[in-house]
Amino acid sequence: MRLISEIEIVPVRPQGGLVAFASFTLCGVISCSSVAIMTRPNGGYRLVYPTKKVGNRAISIFYPITHKVGSAIEEEVIKKYEEVTKGIKYAGYFNSSN
């Protein structure tokens, strides 16, 4: 069984480093959504997992516990992001005809 499957990518107009949102199925039994794909200042991408604001605190909804699992998820999601956005030019917004 693959760690993650059914990866879906939704590109957004880049803003503040945010370039897309991802959703995926973890171990075939858990649906994970609203994972942000952000650019890294020195190139590349990173994932930011969703949080919920309660008062002044941000509470993590879900996230990988180990670096090994986090890296495996990041690798697969970013690979899919690059496949989905290949050939898309940024001209103020995502549009395959520009």
Does some domain include residue 34?
A: yes
| pTM, 2 dp | 0.84
pLDDT tens by residue, the chain, 98 residues: 788 999 999 999 999 999 999 999 999 999 999 999 999 999 999 999 999 999 999 999 999 999 999 999 999 999 999 999 987 765 444 443 43
Q: Kindly report the CATH number assigned to the domain that includes residue 44.
A: 3.30.1120.40
Does some domain include residue 98?
A: no
Per the structure, the complete domain to which residue 32 belongs is given by: 4-88
Does some domain include residue 21?
A: yes
Residue 26: how many CA atoms within 13 Å on its side-chain side? 15
